[in-house]
Amino acid sequence: MSLFDSLSKISEQIQSQRHLITSEQATILVSIQPFIRALGYDTQNLAEVQPEYTADAHSSGTERVDYVIKRDSKPIILIEVKSAETVLNKYHWKQLHNYFVALDVEFGVLTNGIEYRFYTDLKKRNVMDEEPFLAIDMRNLDPSQINALEGFSKSRYAPDQTVRKIKISNLLEQELNQPSDDFVKHFARQVHSGSLFQSVIQEFRPLVKRAWDDLVDQEIARRLRRYEELEDSLPELQTEPEIEKPAASKSPGDAVEIPIFAVYKGRRFEATFLLYEEVKTLRKIVRYEGEVLSPSRAGLMAQRTILPSKKSLNGWTFWMFRDAETNQDRYINDLFNDPELVRRLHSKG
């Protein structure tokens, strides 16, 4: 499972239980520990993840950070946890800053289980920056930020490269919004033969910004065309013929109804899977947004709310359900491969 998928599951748990997460311990249970495990670290291995770690410059043991992640027995990431009810502020930052200085680590994370703010010492060695270089909002996961987070996972730990890349991205974004004199000069001197007085730089500044904006627009259009061409070349990923949409949103009266869900690009979709007998054949369809559809058609409708150009998908590996006996999330595709599961679910109807 990808890091994005793992965090999406955690996000789903947080949002479904948000009204119950009213203490720091509840926040740790539902968000913090799963988040650490999603990065590949073993929360039951004290040599790798240690709670209540002494972070006192005088080793008195009175100051403790909630978690440290270790690598080669050395603390590399501090995690200071607050309750999900807490609004993170300057006081909390100062607390993490003191731990950061005392332990001389590379990274600090301040979190209430909803927001994860990552800090380091880009401006001055061993002095934690006031602004996070990366912020993850578990209510609205951003794939680009999750890609950056990969650099802090156990298997792909490369924090220096990750931080440099984020820093360069931030600098490029600044130049995109407000081109600096040096940035403008770099291009102006290649098309202007005279001296680069300030008046000339001011003349070129809007030209550079417009050229940059046009280039970005062209790249976005090129990628969209490539994506659409790729989709057009893919066969329709269907495991059964499309079921014609009925005039009404009714479903068979004797159908077994199973709640199903899907998480796509950080958004959760819910539907109902229907099992019913029809001419000695067990039919399997989905009710989504008041309509009765095939799994693939229902999944396609869900995805199109985010990506309108989406043309096909395999609904059997898009929708999932919670198997009450095993307490596991399973793809509805398992219904094809596990006749006993079908009989068990159908008999409960």
Among 142, 167, 192, the domain-final residue is 167
Model confidence band, residue 238 (pLDDT cutoffs 50, 70, 90)? very low
Task: Please report whether residue 26 resides in a domain.
Answer: yes
**pLDDT tens-place string over residues 106-144:** 899 999 999 999 999 888 888 899 999 889 999 888 887
Q: Is 178 helix (H, G, I), strand (E, B) or coil?
A: coil
**Separation between Cα atoms, residue 195 and residue 193, nearest integer Å:** 7
**Owning domain of residue 282:** 256-347
β-strands 281-288, 64-71: how paired? Answer: unpaired
**Separation between Cα atoms, residue 324 and residue 344, nearest integer Å:** 11
Among 167, 183, 207, the domain-final residue is 167
Q: Is 122 helix (H, G, I), strand (E, B) or coil?
A: coil
Task: Please report whether residue 281 resides in a domain.
Answer: yes
Domain match, 14 and 133 both: yes
Domain match, 150 and 265 both: no
Task: Please report whether residue 148 resides in a domain.
Answer: yes
* CATH assignment at residue 18: 3.90.1570.30
Domain total of the chain? 2
Which of 59-63, 241-245, 290-294, 299-303 is predicted with the least confidence, judged by mean pLDDT? 241-245
The two tokens of residue 65 are: 């950070």
Task: Please report whether residue 215 resides in a domain.
Answer: no
Domain match, 156 and 272 both: no
Task: Please report whether residue 48 resides in a domain.
Answer: yes
Task: Please report whether residue 60 resides in a domain.
Answer: yes
**pLDDT tens-place string over residues 269-313:** 999 988 776 655 567 788 888 888 888 888 888 888 887 655 567
Task: Please report whether residue 212 resides in a domain.
Answer: no
**Separation between Cα atoms, residue 296 and residue 79, nearest integer Å:** 42
Among 167, 199, 216, the domain-final residue is 167
Task: Please report whether residue 299 resides in a domain.
Answer: yes
Per-residue CA distances from 64 to 37, 50, 57, 61 (Å): 21, 11, 11, 7
